[in-house]
Structure 1
Amino acid sequence: MLDISKLKPGQTIVEDGELYLVLDTVFNKQARGAMKVKAKVKNLRTGANVNLQWNGGSTVEEAHVDKIAVTYSYDTGTDLVFLDCNDYSPFEIPKERLEWEKNFLSDEGGLEVNIRSYEGEILDVILPDKVALKITECEAAVKGNTATSALKTAVLETGFEVKVPLFIEDGEVILVNTNDGKYAGRA
């Protein structure tokens, strides 16, 4: 058990049978009142962000989550297949659980990611901060259209659309931020 006053961002906890990742904590101590601890947490099974609150002196169960280094291999149509970097054992994860992540997983495979698991249950895939993807389709730049921040739409090899600067062309490889899906530079 973990004392609630020791709770930090990045820790995983079990509360009411649900598995949470702590995103932020706030400790509120008033003059005569008992300390209250508020935490913004992410449910690792559903992906929902919620707020939890405890009184000082409470304890919470700490969860030991494993991170497994894997490489993205291929798409079966219903599942995405990852291979363990150590023993090449496959992990199949249903595509509907990885709606956001599949925007950054190229059909060529080979991207190294981490799988987060708890007691054998696969929770999610942790992508690198930035990935390099090839542009397959790009709007033509309109000359003189630089009055505002000049951006155009480009379609990546995964089908994901991203706004890029006017100088980017078809066939180029760019870096895309996996947290917000925005252009991060040339690769």
Structure 2
Amino acid sequence: MVSTSDFKTGLTIALDGQIYVILEFLHSKTARSGALVTTKLRNLRTGGIIEYTFKSGDKVEKAHIDRVSMQYLYANGDMHVFMNMETYEQIEIPAERIEYELNFLYEGLMVDINLYGEEIIGVNLPEKMVVEIKETVPGVKGDTKTNALKDAWLASGFLVKVPMFVDTGDKIIINTTTGEYVSRA
């Protein structure tokens, strides 16, 4: 159990049968009522964000999330197979659980799988990855004054905005959290 006075950003808690991570929290005190802790929580199962207010001193169950390093192997229909490189145990995750992450997954990539007990909560990609541009629109010469960006597509079909000098076949570094261009590789 963890008290509201011990809340911090990134803490995982179990509340009403769901698992949440604390995105923001604010301790406040009014003259009439006792102190309150207003939080913004992300549901780790659905990805939804809610606001929840606790009374100061309330205790909630801490959710212990394990991270296991695994290698992405292949897609098997709608399921995606990952293998623990130490135990050689394989798990399958449905495509709808990792839709965004599929834009960056490729065979052999090492990722962290988040587990709550035996339940698979999600996949953590490396924060920055080197990817290849499969297709891009031609840049307009001389348009460098405005820091102009153009559309580029990865092999997965993911659209990213890149500077005018990036061409088809170039390797770039992309931030997987935001899906934005960082630099050339």
* Cα distance in structure 1, aligned partners of 2:178 and 2:52: 25
Cα deviation, residue 66, structure 1:
0.8
* Cα distance in structure 2, aligned partners of 1:133 and 1:81: 21
Cα deviation, residue 38, structure 1:
1.1
Structure 1: 5+ residue stretches without partners: none
Aligned-residue sequence identity (percent) comes to 43
Alignment partner of 1:97: what SS?
helix
Q: Is residue 44 of structure 1 aligned with residue 38 of structure 2?
A: no
Alignment partner of 1:123: what SS?
strand
Alignment partner of 1:96: what SS?
helix
Alignment partner of 2:165: what SS?
coil
TM-score, normalisation: structure 1: 0.93
Aligned residues: 185
* Cα distance in structure 1, aligned partners of 2:102 and 2:37: 36
Alignment partner of 1:167: what SS?
coil
Alignment partner of 2:10: what SS?
coil
Among 117, 120, 123, which residue is 1:122 paired with?
A: 120
Structure 2: 5+ residue stretches without partners: none
Alignment partner of 2:34: what SS?
coil
Alignment partner of 2:22: what SS?
strand
* Cα distance in structure 2, aligned partners of 1:80 and 1:4: 38
Q: Which residue of 1 aligns with 2:2?
A: 2
Q: Which residue of 2 aligns with 1:162?
A: 160
Q: Which residue of 1 aligns with 2:88?
A: 88
Letter in 1 for 2:74: Y
Alignment partner of 2:87: what SS?
coil
Q: Deviations over 1:53-91 (max 9, x none)?
A: 111121101111111111111112311111113222111
Q: Which residue of 1 aligns with 2:130?
A: 132
* Cα distance in structure 1, aligned partners of 2:58 and 2:7: 11
Q: Which residue of 1 aligns with 2:178?
A: 180
Letter in 1 for 2:10: G
Alignment partner of 1:168: what SS?
coil
* Cα distance in structure 2, aligned partners of 1:60 and 1:143: 59
Q: Which residue of 1 aligns with 2:169?
A: 171
Alignment partner of 1:37: what SS?
strand
Q: Map 1:28-67 onto structure 2 (within 5 A).
A: 28-30=28-30, 33-67=33-67
TM-score, normalisation: structure 2: 0.94
Segments ≥4 residues shifted beyond 4 Å: none
Cα RMSD for the two superposed structures: 1.4
Q: Which residue of 1 aligns with 2:16?
A: 16
Alignment partner of 2:5: what SS?
helix
Cα deviation, residue 145, structure 1:
2.8
